[in-house]
Every structure is written in structure tokens, then in C-alpha cells.
């Protein structure tokens, strides 16, 4: 059975999504919990990756299981074993052909900049610039991207 999971996490304490030897990552933590529940190594496949310190709301991943456990029970089990900064929001059964990375339809990124007084409650969720942005300079700089460009050098 293939299970599609929606996860949200605060990435402050992690070195990104993808497993990296010797570093704490979101994927590593989830795979360790899944592997302990299933009593065998359980890899997960995600819709994408995040960098160190980056947070996610609604990131999708999938894993396979032969265990007869309902999706609701899976969610309860995983959340009871995961740290509080990683939460499984939803689990549904997916077609065997479902692939979190290749079936992703869209991704949305938010970048937050605080231009006001330093906010200690937002320190991990927004750039604390604490000064006004020069919008005219930003428009001038961004103008170099207007038009048709060949970005194939940035592709695999």
C-alpha cells in the first residue's frame, strides 16, 4: 500500500529535508520513525527539498507499507513518535503509481522580510532587516530578469 502524507515542520533545528550523513534532517527523522514502526528500513520520497533552517507547510511525501493500519492510525502513530516541530497533517491511501516528486502539480514559496522593529517571535520565520527596503533599487535590479533568457545551464 502506498501512503501519501502531508507534513508541516519548523526547520529551525534541521539541516534541510534531504538525508545528509552526520547531520539532522527532516527526512532522516521521519524515516527513522517509520522504520521503527515497520521494523525495517522505510525510505520516503518527497515532492521537494528544503534547505537548512527552512520551514514547510503542506509538503507531500509518500512511503510504502504492507501493514494493515488505517490512515488515521498511521497519522496518530507517527505524530506520537515525531518531535513536536514535525507534524503529519494528513495521510491518505494513494495509487501504487503515485509519486510525490513527479506528480507534484505546484509549489508555493513565501519569503518574509520584517522591515519594522526586530520581532523576537518572528526571528526564525522572517528576515529581520529592520529597515525600509529601497523599492526603486529592487525594481532596477529585477529588470535584468525581464525578457527571454536561457536558463538551461541551471538544469540537470
Residues designated catalytic:
51
| Phi/psi of residue 12, nearest 5 degrees | -50, -45
Which residues are bridge partners to 94 per DSSP? 2
Beta pairing class for 86-94 and 45-46 = unpaired
Q: What is the spatial distance between Cα 129 and Cα 6, in angstroms, rounded to a whole number?
A: 32
Cell triple for 61 = 511525501
- Positive or negative, the Cα torsion across 66, 90, 96, 45? negative
CB 85 within 8 A of CB 99: no
Cell triple for 99 = 509519486
Amino acid at each position: 500500500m502506498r501512503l501519501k502524507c502531508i507534513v508541516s515542520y519548523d526547520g529551525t533545528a534541521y539541516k534541510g529535508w534531504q538525508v545528509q550523513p552526520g547531520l539532522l534532517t527532516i527526512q532522516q527523522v521521519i524515516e527513522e520513525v517509520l522504520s521503527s514502526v515497520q521494523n525495517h528500513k522505510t525510505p520516503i520520497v518527497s515532492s521537494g527539498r528544503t534547505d537548512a533552517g527552512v520551514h514547510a507547510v503542506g509538503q507531500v511525501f509518500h512511503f510504502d507499507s504492507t501493514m494493515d493500519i488505517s490512515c488515521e492510525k498511521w497519522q496518530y502513530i507517527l505524530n506520537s513518535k515525531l518531535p513536536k516541530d514535525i507534524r503529519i497533517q494528513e495521510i491518505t491511501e494513494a495509487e501504487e503509481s503515485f509519486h510525490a516528486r513527479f506528480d507534484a502539480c505546484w509549489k508555493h514559496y513565501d519569503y518574509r522580510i520584517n522591515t519594522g522593529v526586530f520581532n523576537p517571535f518572528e526571528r526564525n520565520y522572517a528576515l529581520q532587516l529592520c529597515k525600509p527596503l529601497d523599492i526603486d533599487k529592487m525594481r532596477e535590479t529585477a529588470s535584468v530578469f525581464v525578457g527571454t533568457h536561457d536558463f538551461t545551464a541551471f538544469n540537470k
